[in-house]
Amino acid sequence: MTTQEEKPMKLISMVSFINDRAETSTMDMEQFDWCMSEIDKLKQIRNYADFLSQPLTLGMFVPVDEYGNVLGEPVNDFRGYDNYSKRLSVFEEAKDKVLFGELDAGAANHYVSLNGTVEYLAEFGTLNLTQTAKNQIFQ
């Protein structure tokens, strides 16, 4: 078996390193039943690395339709309840996919135009995570 010192290794990002180690893990969950809280922490670290590596999209900040168009909350104009109900359902579904709260479409467009990943946003430390984002990390 080759030791780590003998294997060539290139400099990679923290996210890539964590993901690589998680994919090659050989830990037997039953054997380590006594340390499940530690295993949960490792899973959360992996989930967070995956979360940080996502490319930024407008739908992470504001509700968007399937084509990436910003959706406003529908107003019931009393012309057709079925139409309003459908538009409200689409809006609520899109809103549930938003990962970062309290940002308008203009600011969101700016971040998305930078073609970065979620990790870029972490440098600012000012965005609040929605429950959807927390669910991705702590599932």
CA quadruple 100, 101, 103, 109: dihedral sign: positive
- As a whole number of angstroms, the distance between CA 53 and CA 14 comes to 10
- How far, CA to CA in Å, does 16 sit from each of 10, 11, 23, 128? 11, 10, 11, 24
DSSP string over 32-50 = TGGGHHHHHHHHHHHHHHH
- The closest of 121, 67, 113 to 94, measured between CA atoms, is 67
- The closest of 39, 96, 32 to 64, measured between CA atoms, is 96
- As a whole number of angstroms, the distance between CA 133 and CA 120 comes to 16
User: What is the domain partition of the chain in residue ranges?
Assistant: 12-53, 56-139
Chain segment 95-105, per-residue pLDDT in tens: 999 999 878 88
Chain segment 15-53, per-residue pLDDT in tens: 777 777 766 666 565 655 656 677 787 888 889 999 999
User: Which tokens belong to 89?
Assistant: 């359902």
pLDDT of residue 22: 67
- How far, CA to CA in Å, does 51 sit from each of 15, 69, 74, 90, 127? 9, 23, 30, 24, 14
> Which stretches of 3-134 are assigned E, i.e. beta strand?
100-101, 128-129
Chain segment 47-90, per-residue pLDDT in tens: 999 999 999 999 999 999 999 999 999 888 777 667 888 889 99
